[in-house]
């Protein structure tokens, strides 16, 4: 156990009562802390998640937050969705109250090894793939984190033999203290979450904290092809690279038609590119990162190859939904930023209609506007932009503007042979859910 924090008798405030907050509050209460849980939503809005909190004798402050509570605590754990610079947290910080993210607390109780995966895009796919490969190679694994499973809820399952593979977001990393993955994976860095982090520099700093507590005994895996990532290579952990374009000194790369892993001058062929079941250059990067991480975790090349071959992909990530009158539909509603959407476009060789929408996270949409104007493949496509995104005139000139998800219809026959990618270039959970539902019912 790395660095347990004595919770017994401590006053702990948990802010936000969705997945993370509920799991955190129950975890702290079970270890003898005096827990208060607060949410801006009312009891009615939160619903059935409240019952187990009451059973665990957790004090509740619902329908808003009380400043005094924030100032009286020993420890505050805000949910990832609560901005770290929220005025109440600032006030508590100024008074010396410790504020950690849930992954910091979880990391202090987690047994076994930890692989932490971060980056702007590909986190969910790579995290799932690493876990899948290791599980198939015979390791005892735990899948958790930003992927939708709070890490703190999996701590009990960990043992000295487990390898936990955790997807880590900037929101989780910005409030760590001692959190230390044995293997960190940094996939790429593009503009995202600027509504929260304000500047790209702040966002980068939050993500790069994944390396902060790693030691010489640990590994860091980084993308050698991404100029925004390479300068982040840390000094202490042993650095391994992955690359589609160059033969790296240590790590995973492409040589002709094969993926090769090189370590201390020794090269091992892992698998043939044709064996990768996922489309797109971005997925090749995800596979290379997973090959490096799993090899460093001790999986044999043949087991890694088996794991990659049998990886079915991630739900809602360029997920094929149906083919109707020659038109293939893909649900890509996990693409929640500009870069992810562009990568999805690149993954389709033919003509394509795209449906976009979501929350404006302050990203630069000129990239896509440029592509949409220039690229015949997207002309005549549908575009669904909402709220601030619509007011900004973004993101898709030259495309038919839809007003709601329900307007999405099967394209006319002249679009036969076209793919339809349904994605959200911005975030917004509820909207994404509606888009997913629509995507799933299309063609039925």
Report the interface residues with ligand UMA, using CB under 6 A: 15-21, 39-41, 79-82, 86, 145-146, 148, 150, 169, 171, 336, 427
Q: Which of 146, 213, 223, 337 is catalytic?
A: 146
* Least distance to ligand UMA, CB of residue 397, Å: 26
* Least distance to ligand UMA, CB of residue 17, Å: 5
Q: Please tell me the distance from the alpha carbon of residue 16 to that of residue 101, in angstroms, as a whole number.
A: 12
Task: Give just the sign of the alpha carbon dihedral 92, 96, 100, 105.
Answer: negative
| 65 has catalytic annotation | no
Q: Please tell me the distance from the alpha carbon of residue 39 to that of residue 53, in angstroms, as a whole number.
A: 13
* Least distance to ligand UMA, CB of residue 324, Å: 29
Nearer to ligand UMA, 64 or 231 (CB): 64
* Least distance to ligand UMA, CB of residue 70, Å: 11
Per the structure block, which two tokens stand in for 203? Answer: 């966002």
| 121 has catalytic annotation | no
Q: Which residues does 23 contact at the CB level (< 8 Å), separation at least 6?
A: 102, 150, 152, 153
Torsions phi, psi of 173, nearest 5?
-75, -25
Nearer to ligand UMA, 35 or 402 (CB): 35
Nearer to ligand UMA, 8 or 430 (CB): 430
Nearer to ligand UMA, 137 or 389 (CB): 389
330 forms beta bridges with 320, 421
The residue whose Cβ lies closest to ligand UMA is 81
Nearer to ligand UMA, 174 or 225 (CB): 174
Q: Please tell me the distance from the alpha carbon of residue 338 to that of residue 208, in angstroms, as a whole number.
A: 21
* Least distance to ligand UMA, CB of residue 399, Å: 24
The DSSP code sequence of 64-107 is S--HHHHHT-SEEEE-TTS-TT-HHHHHHHHTT-EE--HHHHHH
Three-class SS of 23-50 = HHHHHHHHCCCEEEEEECCCHHHHHHHH
| 193 has catalytic annotation | yes
Q: Please tell me the distance from the alpha carbon of residue 284 to that of residue 177, in angstroms, as a whole number.
A: 33
Q: Which of 34, 65, 121, 123 is catalytic?
A: 123
Which residues are designated catalytic? 123, 146, 193
């Amino acid at each position: 156990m790395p660095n347990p924090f004595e919770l017994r008798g401590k006053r702990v405030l948990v802010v936000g009562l969705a997945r993370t907050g509920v799991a955190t509050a129950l975890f702290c209460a079970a270890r003898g802390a005096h827990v208060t849980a607060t949410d801006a939503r009312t009891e009615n809005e939160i619903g059935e998640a409240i019952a187990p909190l009451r059973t665990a004798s957790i004090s509740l402050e619902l329908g808003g937050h009380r400043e005094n509570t924030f100032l009286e605590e020993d420890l505050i754990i805000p949910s990832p969705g609560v901005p770290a610079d929220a005025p109440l947290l600032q006030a508590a910080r100024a008074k010396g109250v410790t504020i950690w993210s849930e992954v910091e607390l979880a990391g202090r109780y987690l047994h076994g090894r930890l692989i932490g995966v971060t980056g702007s895009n590909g986190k969910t796919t790579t995290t799932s793939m690493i876990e899948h490969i290791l599980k198939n190679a015979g390791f005892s694994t735990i899948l958790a984190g930003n992927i939708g499973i709070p890490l703190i809820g999996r701590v009990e399952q960990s043992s000295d033999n487990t390898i936990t593979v955790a997807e880590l977001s900037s929101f989780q990393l910005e409030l760590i203290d001692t959190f230390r993955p044995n293997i960190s994976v940094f996939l790429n860095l593009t503009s995202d979450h600027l509504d929260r982090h304000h500047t790209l520099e702040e966002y980068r700093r939050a993500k790069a904290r994944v390396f902060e507590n790693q030691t010489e005994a640990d590994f860091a895996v980084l993308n050698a092809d991404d100029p925004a990532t390479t300068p982040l290579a840390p000094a202490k952990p042993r650095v391994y690279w992955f690359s589609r374009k160059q033969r790296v000194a240590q790590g995973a790369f492409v040589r002709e038609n094969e993926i090769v892993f090189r370590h201390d001058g020794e090269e091992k062929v892992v698998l043939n590119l044709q064996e990768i079941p996922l489309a797109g250059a971005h997925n090749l990067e995800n596979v290379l990162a997973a090959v490096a991480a799993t090899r460093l975790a001790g999986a044999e090349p043949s087991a890694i190859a088996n794991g990659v071959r049998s990886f079915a992909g991630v739900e809602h990530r360029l997920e094929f939904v149906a083919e109707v009158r020659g038109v293939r539909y893909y649900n890509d509603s996990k693409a929640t930023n500009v870069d992810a959407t562009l990568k999805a476009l690149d993954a389709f060789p033919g003509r394509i209609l795209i449906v976009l929408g979501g929350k404006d996270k302050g990203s630069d949409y000129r990239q896509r506007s440029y592509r949409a104007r220039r690229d015949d493949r997207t002309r005549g496509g549908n575009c669904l932009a909402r709220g601030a995104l619509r007011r900004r005139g973004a993101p898709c000139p030259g495309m038919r503007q839809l007003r709601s998800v329900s307007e999405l219809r099967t394209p006319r026959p002249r679009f036969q042979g076209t793919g339809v990618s349904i994605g959200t270039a911005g975030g917004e959970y509820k909207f994404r859910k509606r888009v997913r539902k629509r995507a799933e019912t299309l063609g039925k």
